[in-house]
Amino acid sequence: MHNDLIVIDGLQYSNWNRAIFQQLKEGGVTMVHVTVVYHEQIRETLLRIGEWNRQFEIHHDLIMPVKSAADIRLAKQLGKVGIMFGAQNCSPIEDDIGMVEIMRELNLMIMQLTYNNQSLLACGCYEAEDSGVTRFGKQVIKEMNRVGMVVDMSHSAERSTLEAIDISERPIVISHANPNSFHEAKRNKSDTVLKALGESGGLLGFSLYPFHLKNGPDCSLDDFCDMVANTADLMGIDHIGIGTDLCQEQPLSVLEWMRNGRWSKEMDYGEGSKANADWPRPLSWFRDSRDFPNITKGLQNRGFRTEDIAKVMGMNWLNLLDEGLKPQVLKR
């Protein structure tokens, strides 16, 4: 069954190389949303995109760029892994709303409004006070809607996320997080947020990052699938997917870049514990992308219907992107 599915991973930030691309293919992954930006600004973002263009040249037999939802279906047809660009922060637009359209023309398809901290657009989930979406943020959401760039609130605080859901005229995503009721973490989301997300037509991508799961690296596949089932009851089966947050073969310096960027001289320990100062031990049933079939099998064992498994493993993502990536109005 798994080989017949369109499988979409809603977020990875791996140290990309041919072996990892091969793992994606072996795991039956049709498309992966790759982070090209954490704290990079305009010029650095352009350099990251240039690096990816080189990857497409070198590994053209394995991967292809995703410039529209149609390319995801094409990747499945060709037996390649589609690569879709995204940003985990709003730094690529700096303080210029005109950069939203430019970045979208460069195939940046998804952008988070914040990464943990307060940004020019909204408030991150680690701030003590959540001031909500800013004046600039409201205008950027409107522009993202117009050009066909999906709003992502994975690292945003509660009020900011609820406001973004309300402000956006198009469904938004939380590409990689879990319910706070399953495991309490600053990055995980309340039932209030998840219900609002589902009611608005948005999507939650379940994270397999161990620090966001009950019992951490010892979280069982059964417990994960129970979480999926319970969230389907809360949000509706059409509004959930996968966003593994897989960070393969990355050195500790990358983890420090993710958390610290350039804003702090001190190490930010994320959830507030020095135990989280290094990469976690991987899950036994999801070590890398080759283990995607384990999720399909786990959902089967949990009693999910075939059509519902197809939705969770990729079709819900595809349906959202079908509409979300289409520009509303073309300037020219």
Residue-level pLDDT at 45: 98
Rounded to the nearest 10°, the torsion over CA 259, 242, 140, 145 is: 170
Do 91 and 124 contact (CB within 8 A), yes or no?
A: no
Residue 188 lies in a domain: yes
The DSSP result for 213-252, as a single string, is: STTGGG--HHHHHHHHHHHHHHH-GGGEEE---B-TT--H
Where does the pLDDT of residue 265 fall: very low under 50, low under 70, confident under 90, or very high at 90 and above? confident
Which single residue is written with the structure tokens 């793992």?
23
Helix (H, G, I), strand (E, B) or coil at 8: strand
Residue-level pLDDT at 112: 98
Share of the chain above pLDDT 70, in %: 96
Tell me: the pLDDT tens digits for 47-71? 999 999 999 999 999 999 999 999 9
Tell me: the pLDDT tens digits for 161-170? 999 999 999 9
Measured distance CA(91)–CA(100) in Å, rounded: 11
Amino acid at 38: Y
Residue 125 lies in a domain: yes
Residue-level pLDDT at 254: 87
Q: How many CB atoms lie within 10 A of CB 77?
A: 9
pLDDT at 40 over 60: yes
Pairing of strands 203-206, 108-112: unpaired
Tell me: the pLDDT tens digits for 273-286? 555 678 889 999 99
Tell me: the pLDDT tens digits for 208-240? 999 999 999 999 999 999 999 999 999 999 999
Residue-level pLDDT at 271: 55
The end-to-end CA distance of the chain, in Å, is 45
CATH number reported for the structural domain that contains residue 286 in this entry: 3.20.20.140
- Give the list of residues 6+ apart from residue 1 with CB closer than 8 angstroms, or none: 296, 300, 306, 309
Least confident of 13-22, 28-37, 195-204, 262-271: 262-271
38-74 burial code (b ≥16 CB/10 A, e <16)? bbbeeeebeebbeebeebeeebeebbbbbebbebbbe
Strands (E), the chain: 8-12, 31-37, 63-65, 81-87, 108-112, 150-152, 173-177, 203-206, 240-242
Residue-level pLDDT at 278: 80
Tell me: the pLDDT tens digits for 295-304? 999 999 999 9
Could you tell me the maximum CA-CA distance found in the chain, to the nearest angstrom? 54
Higher pLDDT pick, 331 / 18: 18
Range of the domain at 221: 2-324
Measured distance CA(90)–CA(42) in Å, rounded: 10
pLDDT at 83 over 70: yes
Residue 273 lies in a domain: yes
Mean pLDDT of 245-263: 89
Residue-level pLDDT at 113: 98
Mean pLDDT of 26-36: 98
Mean pLDDT of 82-110: 98
pLDDT at 327 over 80: yes
Residue 313 lies in a domain: yes
Please give the model's pTM, rounded to 2 decimal places.
Answer: 0.95
Residue 271 lies in a domain: yes
Residue 299 lies in a domain: yes
Residues composing the chain: 332
Domain total of the chain: 1
Backbone CA torsion sign across 151, 199, 179, 272:
positive
Work out the burial of residue 238: count CB atoms within 10 Å of its CB; fewer than 13 is exposed, 13-18 middle, 19 or more buried.
middle
Mean pLDDT of 124-135: 96
DSSP letter (8 states) at residue 35: E
Residue 56 lies in a domain: yes
Residue-level pLDDT at 269: 67
Where does the pLDDT of residue 332 fall: very low under 50, low under 70, confident under 90, or very high at 90 and above? very low
Q: How many CB atoms lie within 10 A of CB 17?
A: 14
Q: How many CB atoms lie within 10 A of CB 4?
A: 10
Residue 132 lies in a domain: yes
